[in-house]
Amino acid sequence: MSMRKLGSILLLAGATAVLATAAASAGPLSGKRIAGLPNTCSKPVGHGKYVIASDFPLQGSLRPLSVQMVEAVKLELKKMHYKIGKYSVQFVSCDDSTAAKGSWDPQTCTNNANSYKSVTNLLGVIGTYNSGCAEIIAPIINRAPGGGIPMVSPANTYVGLTKKSGVAGEPQKYFPTGKRNYARVAVPDNFQGAADALYLKHRHIKRVYVLNDAEAYGLGIANNFVRAAKKLGLTVLGNSKWDASQPNYQSLYQGIASKHPQAIFLAGIVSNNGGQLIKDKVSVLGNNTKVLLLASDGFNDSATPKDAGNSAAGMFITIGGSDPNKLSNPTGRAFVKAFRKAYHVKHLEAYTAYAGQALLVLAHAINKSDGSRLSIDKHLFKQKFPKGIIGSFKIDSSGDPSLGGVTVDVVKHGNIKAVTTVNPPLSLAKAALG
């Protein structure tokens, strides 16, 4: 379906009871802050009776990435003239981080989720970036009146949000009503962990040490990587936590040095003092040519070379999918061109294109629905996008994309550039699940 056609499709006329009731109680919106939403949310843009929100960390090291994701959603909505089917919408950008933490904050995620429940004309949430925040928001908005509020993430990669992960209660605990309302377009971490391990094997690495930030995402992908690495015959020298509150990691790396690693794998997010972690790796173990440094997609942010300085040179960072700057399909190329023109940027952050695609997944579900939240939730699944921004893919019955390719980027001259794509065999991705 083309973007032009998307804006003109009408939903079935007689099937709008829930949203029509919401509109009657909420009244038209006029650019003022929306009642019920917290001050973490911006004033709306667009026009109409209905609301779509994004939920990303807009403070700290992840701000550049988050700002571009917000801009991508705005770009796609503007193409639709802020109209999805017969519903005119306004868009608000909500922040799930705090200045003090410089990253996503559990209490803020909780507050945001509870506020979303009170906005009866909220059609859906695009977010989150951090899987740990999604773990908090998903079960709260799953209990919203009229059915779970639809949620589509451009960047959550933690496996347990949609499928069994080995952690008790997952993924059922995120859907307490028994009805799913969550989907994502990013490649889950069992594929990324498998691809990361496979890339090291291709580089003839035999001995690797793993560091994780102990958050849901970081610990999850660390475990996925370890299982895949062992399956490939790599020796995993250790898998330990780095404490984001520490001023430096000299002693941590001195202990690792005695094990003589050929590579270090960082599993977590750069906002958890990742810049210092990289600096101290180079200081103690040598530059990234001597001991290879590979990081998961939580480091695929322009903040990484900024925070780590010259120490980031030569490190590799993956993306759970395609690098948006190298999209080869016509729809993807058109998106990149339009984004660069609209926002005057050269480099798209790792999940910018994925945010635009996440909005389209939600929009297509709204178009297919009967107007109720339960129906929108139902239509999040088993969608097909033969000409998507991120390529041809489907959303399966669990809410995952039918994509398994992982991009390996390298930091060079302060920039992040694509090197290659790794497509791990399904058998290795399954082994990464445990």
Distances (CA, A) of 102 to 96, 97, 272: 10, 7, 9
d(CA 30, CA 429): 48
Return the sign of the alpha-carbon dihedral for residues 271, 391, 196, 130: positive
Element (H, E) at 6: helix 3-6
Distances (CA, A) of 214 to 8, 13, 235, 239, 320: 46, 49, 21, 10, 19
Burial of 364 by CB count in 10 Å (0-12 exposed, 13-18 middle, 19+ buried)? buried
Q: Rounded to two decimals, what is the model's pTM?
A: 0.89
Same domain, 208 and 352: no
pLDDT of residue 25: 33
Element (H, E) at 278: helix 274-285
Same domain, 201 and 246: yes
Same domain, 341 and 209: no
pLDDT of residue 30: 45
- Single out the residue of 270, 268, 373 nearest to residue 20, CA to CA: 373
> Do 192 and 320 touch, CB atoms closer than 8 A?
yes
Return the sign of the alpha-carbon dihedral for residues 400, 406, 407, 409: positive
pLDDT of residue 163: 95
Please check whether residue 400 lies inside any domain of the structure: no
Element (H, E) at 74: helix 63-79
Same domain, 351 and 246: no
Place of tokens 């990149």: 336
Same domain, 55 and 71: yes
Task: Give 236's contacts (C-beta < 8 A, 6+ positions apart).
Answer: 208, 209, 210, 226, 229, 230
Element (H, E) at 103: strand 103-104
Same domain, 293 and 330: no
d(CA 410, CA 184): 25
pLDDT of residue 33: 86
Alpha helices in 154-208 (DSSP H): 189-202
Distances (CA, A) of 302 to 68, 171, 271, 375: 11, 32, 11, 38
Phi and psi dihedrals of 41, rounded to 5?
Answer: -100, 145
- By three-state DSSP, how is residue 234 classified? coil
pLDDT of residue 291: 98
Same domain, 372 and 302: no
d(CA 331, CA 328): 9
Average pLDDT per consecutive 10 residues, the chain (434 residues; last block may be shorter)? 37 35 37 86 93 97 96 98 93 97 96 96 96 98 95 97 93 97 97 98 98 96 98 98 97 98 98 97 98 97 96 97 94 98 96 98 94 92 97 97 95 96 96 94
Same domain, 251 and 341: no
Same domain, 166 and 213: no
> Do 326 and 347 touch, CB atoms closer than 8 A?
no
Same domain, 303 and 424: yes
Total Cβ atoms within 10 A of residue 394: 15
Which CATH number is 274's domain given?
3.40.50.2300
| Overall number of domains in the chain | 2
pLDDT of residue 31: 58
pLDDT of residue 371: 79
Please check whether residue 399 lies inside any domain of the structure: no
Domain that holds residue 83: 3-186+324-394
Same domain, 129 and 200: no
